[in-house]
């Protein structure tokens, strides 16, 4: 998997001055476009679109300093429709405009080329199981919140506090199938998975009960799920679990992620410092 991913990275380099189709990169990596974006973001730590933009602006910066092409020619070469759009993007990355950089010989920023390798540590194993599940519903309360990669998500924490104990107990009483109890469900995420982009967050249960008037329901299609378990400090262990699924488990197993919500079942210790977690990721087998 990583070898094919690195071949896709080479394709990006060859086409920095041309249109890059994510579907072509996914085809080289022998995976779906959806999974390719997810895998790249997990491995690289930045969205694919941001990496391509920064690589283009890095190479464009070298051409600006070289002075062999006009600024407009460079802008068009790297996909910008106008000199103004190029100047805004250039300044956002390098801290100076292209005209100023050319005149002053400024110091510019650089986005290095990336390649990937798998580090096998062997000191721990991932506990997982594969589950086939019929169509089901998540019933509870919903909020639109920004994505936070590290640490507590303050918007989610405030949303849950605002529900009150009576509502939480009513939600929990509706649970009647696996995963049991209250779950956190993330759906409708931005393809980039960039920090600050928004998602639909459901605080609810998996249930076949009639949906109360003051609650919302998310219908989830039948399919295959990979279910991962871990225990550790809260919330770091949960965020590391998601990272490890995409950087270690997927490259080593014949599955890829598919569109659908991600479901997290968490049980906190009395002091809320530790958590036992169960993460449900929608998956499908890869073609051999």
pLDDT at 196: 85
Is residue 7 scored above 80 in pLDDT? yes
Q: Is the domain of 71 the same as that of 139?
A: no
Who contacts 86 (Cβ-Cβ below 8 Å, separation ≥6)? 60, 71, 74, 75, 78, 80, 98
Last residue of a domain, one of 104, 137, 171: 104
User: What is the C-alpha separation between 229 and 266, in angstroms, rounded?
Assistant: 10
User: In this structure, are residues 181 and 263 in contact, taking their beta carbons and an 8 Å threshold?
Assistant: no
Give pLDDT tens digits for 246-256. Answer: 878 888 788 99
For the chain, what is the mean pLDDT?
90
User: In this structure, are residues 184 and 235 in contact, taking their beta carbons and an 8 Å threshold?
Assistant: no
Q: Is the domain of 77 the same as that of 135?
A: no
Pairing of strands 136-146, 183-187: unpaired
Give pLDDT tens digits for 67-124. Answer: 899 999 999 999 999 999 999 999 999 999 999 998 876 789 999 898 877 554 443 4
- CA 25 remoteness from chain centre: 17
Q: Is the domain of 44 the same as that of 182?
A: no
pLDDT at 52: 96
Q: CA-based angle 88:93:97, to the nearest 5?
A: 45
Q: Is the domain of 89 the same as that of 131?
A: no
**Residue 76 domain flag:** yes
Q: Is the domain of 21 the same as that of 137?
A: no
CATH code of the domain covering residue 18 = 1.10.10.60
pLDDT at 122: 40
pLDDT at 236: 79
User: What is the C-alpha separation between 172 and 207, in angstroms, rounded?
Assistant: 10
**Residue 119 domain flag:** no
Residues 198-213 have a mean pLDDT of: 96
User: In this structure, are residues 176 and 183 in contact, taking their beta carbons and an 8 Å threshold?
Assistant: no
User: What is the C-alpha separation between 239 and 37, in angstroms, rounded?
Assistant: 18
pLDDT at 107: 84
**Residue 109 domain flag:** no
Portion of the chain with pLDDT greater than 70, in percent: 95
The count of structural domains within the chain is 2
Question: HEC profile for the chain?
Answer: CHHHHHHHHHHHHHCCCCCCCHHHHHHHCCCCHHHHHHHHHHHHCCCHHHHHHHHHHHHHHHHHHHCCCCHHHHHHHCCCCCHHHHHHHHHHHHCCCHHHHHHHCCCCCCCCCCCCCCCCCCCCCCEEEEEEECCEEEEEEEEEEECCCCCCCHHHHHHHHHHHHHHHHHHHHCCCCCCCCCEEEEECCCCCCCCCCEEEEEEEEECCCCCCCCCEEEEECCEEEEEEEEEEECCHHHHHHHHHHHHHHHHHCCEEECCCCEEEEEEECCCCCEEEEEEEEEEEECCC
**Residue 51 domain flag:** yes
The model's confidence at residue 162, banded by pLDDT at 50, 70 and 90, is: very high
Q: Is the domain of 167 the same as that of 266?
A: yes
**Residue 96 domain flag:** yes
Q: Is the domain of 162 the same as that of 275?
A: yes
pLDDT at 124: 45
Residues 20-39 have a mean pLDDT of: 93
Q: Is the domain of 144 the same as that of 268?
A: yes
**Residue 163 domain flag:** yes
Is residue 287 scored above 80 in pLDDT? no
Q: Is the domain of 133 the same as that of 255?
A: yes
CATH code of the domain covering residue 236 = 3.20.80.10
Omega before residue 179 within 30° of 0, cis: yes
The tokens for 101 are 């950089």
Q: Is the domain of 154 the same as that of 256?
A: yes
**Residue 112 domain flag:** no
The tokens for 121 are 């540590």
Portion of the chain with pLDDT greater than 90, in percent: 65
Q: Is the domain of 150 the same as that of 80?
A: no
Domain containing 70: what range? Answer: 2-104
Range of lowest pLDDT (100-104, 146-150, 220-224): 146-150
Give pLDDT tens digits for 111-128. Answer: 989 887 755 444 344 689
The model's confidence at residue 242, banded by pLDDT at 50, 70 and 90, is: confident
**Residue 111 domain flag:** no
Last residue of a domain, one of 52, 70, 104: 104
Q: Is the domain of 222 the same as that of 161?
A: yes
């Amino acid at each position: 998997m990583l070898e094919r991913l690195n071949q896709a990275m080479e394709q990006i380099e060859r086409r920095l001055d041309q249109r890059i189709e994510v579907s072509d990169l996914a085809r080289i990596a022998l995976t779906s476009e959806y999974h390719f974006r997810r895998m790249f973001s997990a491995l690289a730590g930045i969205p694919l679109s941001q990496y391509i933009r920064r690589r283009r602006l890095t190479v464009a910066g070298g051409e600006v300093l070289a002075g062999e092409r006009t600024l407009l020619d460079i802008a068009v070469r790297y996909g910008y429709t106008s000199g103004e759009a190029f100047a805004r993007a250039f300044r956002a990355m390098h801290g100076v405009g292209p005209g100023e950089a050319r005149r002053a010989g400024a110091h510019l920023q650089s986005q290095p080329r990336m390649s990937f390798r798998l580090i096998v540590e062997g000191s721990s194993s991932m506990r997982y199981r594969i589950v086939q599940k019929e169509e089901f519903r998540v019933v509870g309360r919903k909020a639109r919140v920004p994505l936070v990669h590290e640490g507590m998500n303050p918007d989610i924490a405030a949303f849950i506090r605002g529900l009150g104990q009576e509502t939480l107990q009513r939600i929990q009483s509706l649970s009647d199938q696996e995963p049991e109890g209250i779950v956190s469900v993330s759906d409708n995420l931005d393809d980039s998975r960039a920090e600050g982009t928004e998602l639909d967050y459901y605080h609810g249960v998996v249930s076949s009960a009639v949906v109360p008037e003051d609650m919302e329901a998310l219908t989830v299609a039948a399919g295959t799920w990979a279910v991962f378990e871990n225990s550790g400090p809260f919330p770091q262990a949960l965020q590391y679990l998601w990272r490890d699924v995409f950087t270690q488990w997927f490259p080593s197993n014949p599955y890829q992620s598919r569109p659908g919500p991600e479901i997290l079942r968490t049980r906190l210790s009395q002091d809320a410092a530790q958590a036992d977690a169960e993460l449900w990721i929608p998956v499908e087998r890869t073609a051999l």
